[in-house]
Each structure stands twice: as C-alpha cells, then as structure tokens.
C-alpha cells in the first residue's frame, strides 16, 4: 500500500522478499521498514504515523537542530551545543539528565510506537515521560510522546534529528539554526555496524562483508548516506546552516567551538569554551555513559551486553581512522567505489586521518 505524505513524498513497504531477507539479517527490526520516495529514504514503518506531524512541526527562531546521518557525531554535537547554551560554566544540575532527554530526538516516537512501546512506557523514572505528563496534561501518548513534549518544552531547544532536509518543514533554515554534522563514510560504517550489533532492536547477525553490502546498497536506516550528506552540503551557503565535520571537531575542538559560538551568538568566554570542550571530551562522555534517558535495567535489555563487554558501548572509540583496524582491503574498495560514484562533482572531501 502506498502512503501519501504531506511533504509530497510517497512511502511504500519493502517487498516481501526484501523484508524477509532484512528480518533474517536484522531480527530485531520487527516493526518493518518503508522506503520513502523520491530519495529512497529507509525508515521504520511507524514513521508513517508521525511523518506529517514532523513536516508541520513549528520550530522557534531560538531553536537549534543537530542534523546528521546516524553515527556521524550527533550526540557529541548535541552535548556541546546544549552546554554552550544552557550550561556554559558547567555547573547546572540539569546537565545530569541523559543527553537525549535534554536535547530531544525529534522523530524518536517512531521507535516508541512499535515493539519498544510497552518497555519505554513502563519506565516511570524516565524524565521524558515525567515531563510529558507535566507539560501535556490530557494529551494522548498514542499521538506521540516526544513530538508533544517538545512542542511544549520551554526555553531554547537543541534538537537532534537524523531525518534529511526534504522530510522536514521546507522553511526550516529560514526559521531556525541547523548544525549539519558529517563524518567520513568508512568510520561511519564501522560505528554504524557496532550500533547495529549492540542494539537489540536491530540485532545485525551478519559479518562486515554483509554490512558493507547493506550500506553500499543503501538499505540501512536513514540512508542513503550519500544523499543525506548531499542534502546538507548543497545548502552550506545558507546563513541558517553550519556544516561541521567530525574529523575537524576531533582535530581542533576549540576552532570549531569558536565557530559555533559565532553561529549561535552565545558569546562565550575562552574559559567557558574550554570548560565545555573538557566536559564533552570522549573520555568524559564515555564515563557518564548517558545518551538516552533510561534506567540500567532497560539499558541491559536494549543493548547486547556481550558485544558491549567485548567491543564497547554507545561511546565506543570516538576516533578518526579506526576503520583501518576493521575493514579489509576488499571492503574498503567497495566503499571507495560507492564514494566515487556518489560524491563525484560534489566538492566534498572527507578526512580519513587527522
Ligand atoms: P565510534 O563508534 O567510532 O566510537 P552518533 O552520536 O551520531 O550516534 O555518533 C556516535 C559516534 O560518535 C561513536 O563513534 C561515538 O563513540 C562517537 N562519540 C560520541 N561522543 C564523542 C566524543 N565526545 N568525542 C568523540 N567521539 C564521540
């Protein structure tokens, strides 16, 4: 069945053959996937329930949106921006809440509407649910907890989204500020592979050869990666957009935080910027290990503990060039060919080492 979306796109479930194959290789992905055209964007089926609400979402002038393809440095950038805006002296008790509670994930309801629903709703300690109850009395959770909570959230909102520009309000850049974060495709691939293996809701069963096939066939969630990057990069001259690269942030965080300070008009002192950088270093964020508001019991349920113990959790390595330890020459060649085919003429040069 084809679904018509307000954005002008249409969405179709994957074919039976594709769905069966994906369910075999990713048995956690039980909610199913849709392909949104034009673009071929791969999203979980419950996206259809919130797509129009997101397209119509009313952003404020003061909002900041962190937009990325998954595993390109979203959480790191959210944490930097949130602290620059709300906690420049690193003394706010509010900073103790997990990043994605303070800095909302715009479309996260699509992950709560399917298989995870009961589990998420059962955690009464979740600050997102508490704030939803406080800010949205009488609202129906079935209409989307996060989308209703963020609409009512006071103050400057620092959003996360993995959705690409064409699926968001067309006046987004004229209304608010967007920081688009890109990362080289090989490190992103390694990081995404890890994510697909630690997340029980995805539960990838195959080896790296198969994962590289899925990536280069544009069959992973939120892909196609290159089109996502293109949609950000082609808007780079818009004054509402700042394009940030994971590799540059890693190489010289102060230079990037100075640029972000100008972009956001936060007017921080050098001392404040230094504090923000320290507080958001990989080691500090890994030690806090607080990316999503959930209790330890739930974390254990949704993350594959065996992989976490052996290869790290959400904050895995945080490096540039780790793909050199993980990809075979044949896998690299496949990604190189895919890159050549997609990035030609784009004028974008990713760094693969720093
Ligand atoms: P690795 O898997 O390579 O370690 P996202 O937030 O978009 O999902 O991206 C996750 C990637 O960013 C992971 O990469 C994670 O370790 C890395 N990351 C998170 N916080 C970081 C930080 N403070 N510094 C450097 N990398 C960070």
**SS3 per-residue string spanning 23-46:** HHHCCCCCCCEEEEECCCEEEECC
Give residue 262's pLDDT: 98
287 in any annotated domain:
yes
- Is residue 102 in contact with ligand 1, taking CB distance under 6 Å? no
- Is residue 191 in contact with ligand 1, taking CB distance under 6 Å? yes
2 in any annotated domain:
no
Distance CA 202, CA 218 (A): 16
- Token pair for residue 82? 């949130």
354 residues of the chain, pLDDT tens digit each: 899 999 999 999 999 999 999 999 999 999 999 999 999 999 999 999 999 999 999 999 999 999 999 999 999 999 999 999 999 999 999 999 999 999 999 999 999 888 778 888 888 788 888 899 999 999 998 899 999 999 999 999 999 999 999 999 999 999 999 999 999 999 999 999 999 999 999 999 999 999 999 999 999 999 999 999 999 999 999 999 999 999 999 999 999 999 999 999 999 999 999 999 999 999 999 999 998 888 888 888 889 999 999 999 999 999 999 999 999 999 999 999 999 999 999 999 999 999
262 in any annotated domain:
yes
- Is residue 197 in contact with ligand 1, taking CB distance under 6 Å? no
Question: Hey, whose CA ends up nearest to atom 22 of ligand 1?
Answer: 282
Cβ neighbours for 114, distance < 8 A, ≥ 6 positions apart: 30, 31, 44, 45, 46
| Span from the CA of 246 to the centroid of ligand 1 (angstroms) | 9
Candidates 72, 194, 318: which one to mutate for ligand 1, based on the most atoms within 8 Å of Cβ?
318
Give residue 163's pLDDT: 98
Task: Supply the range of the domain harboring residue 226.
Answer: 59-106+155-343
Which atom of ligand 1 approaches the CA of 68 most closely?
7
Candidates 68, 69, 73, 105: which one to mutate for ligand 1, based on the most atoms within 8 Å of Cβ?
73
Q: Are 102 and 286 in contact (CB under 8 A)?
A: no
101 in any annotated domain:
yes
93 in any annotated domain:
yes
Give residue 315's pLDDT: 96
* C-alpha R_g of the chain: 19
Candidates 74, 159, 191: which one to mutate for ligand 1, based on the most atoms within 8 Å of Cβ?
191
**What CATH number corresponds to the domain at position 252?**
3.40.50.300
Question: Hey, whose CA ends up nearest to atom 14 of ligand 1?
Answer: 318
| Structural domains in the chain (count) | 1
232 in any annotated domain:
yes
Question: Quick one: how far is CA 127 from the chain centroid?
Answer: 20
Distance CA 225, CA 211 (A): 14
pTM comes to: 0.97
| Span from the CA of 99 to the centroid of ligand 1 (angstroms) | 13
Give residue 120's pLDDT: 80
274 in any annotated domain:
yes
15 in any annotated domain:
no
Q: In 3-state terms, what secondary structure has residue 242?
A: strand
Distance CA 159, CA 177 (A): 10
């Amino acid at each position: 069945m084809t679904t018509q979306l307000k954005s002008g796109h249409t969405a179709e479930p994957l074919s039976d053959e594709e769905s069966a194959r994906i369910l075999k290789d990713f048995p956690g992905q039980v909610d199913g996937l849709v392909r949104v055209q034009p673009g071929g964007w791969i999203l979980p089926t419950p996206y259809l329930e919130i797509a129009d609400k997101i397209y119509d979402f009313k952003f404020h002038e003061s909002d900041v949106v962190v937009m990325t393809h998954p595993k390109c440095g979203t959480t790191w950038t959210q944490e930097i921006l949130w602290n620059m805006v709300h906690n420049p002296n690193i003394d706010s008790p509010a900073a103790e809440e997990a990043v994605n509670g303070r800095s909302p994930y715009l479309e996260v309801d699509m992950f709560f509407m399917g298989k995870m629903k009961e589990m998420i709703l059962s955690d009464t300690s979740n600050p997102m649910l508490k704030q939803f109850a406080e800010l949205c009395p009488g609202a129906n959770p079935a209409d989307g907890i996060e989308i209703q909570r963020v609409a009512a959230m006071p103050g400057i909102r620092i959003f996360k989204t993995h959705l690409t520009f064409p699926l968001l309000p067309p006046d987004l850049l004229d209304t608010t500020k967007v920081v688009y974060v890109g990362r080289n495709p090989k490190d992103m691939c390694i990081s995404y592979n890890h994510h697909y293996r630690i997340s029980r809701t995805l539960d990838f069963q195959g080896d790296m050869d198969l994962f590289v096939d899925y990536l280069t066939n544009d069959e992973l969630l939120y892909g196609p990666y290159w089109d996502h990057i293109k949609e950000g990069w082609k808007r780079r001259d818009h004054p509402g957009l700042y394009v940030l690269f994971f590799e540059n942030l890693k190489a010289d965080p102060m230079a990037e935080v100075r640029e972000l300070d100008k972009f956001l008009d936060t007017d921080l002192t050098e001392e404040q910027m230094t504090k923000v950088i320290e507080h958001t270093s990989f080691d500090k964020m890994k030690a806090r290990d607080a990316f999503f508001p959930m209790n330890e019991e739930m974390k254990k349920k949704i993350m594959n503990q065996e992989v976490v113990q052996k290869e790290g959790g959400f904050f895995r390595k945080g490096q540039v060039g780790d793909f050199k330890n993980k990809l075979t020459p044949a896998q690299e060649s496949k990604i190189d060919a895919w890159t050549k085919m997609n990035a030609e003429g784009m004028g974008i040069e990713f760094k693969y080492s720093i």
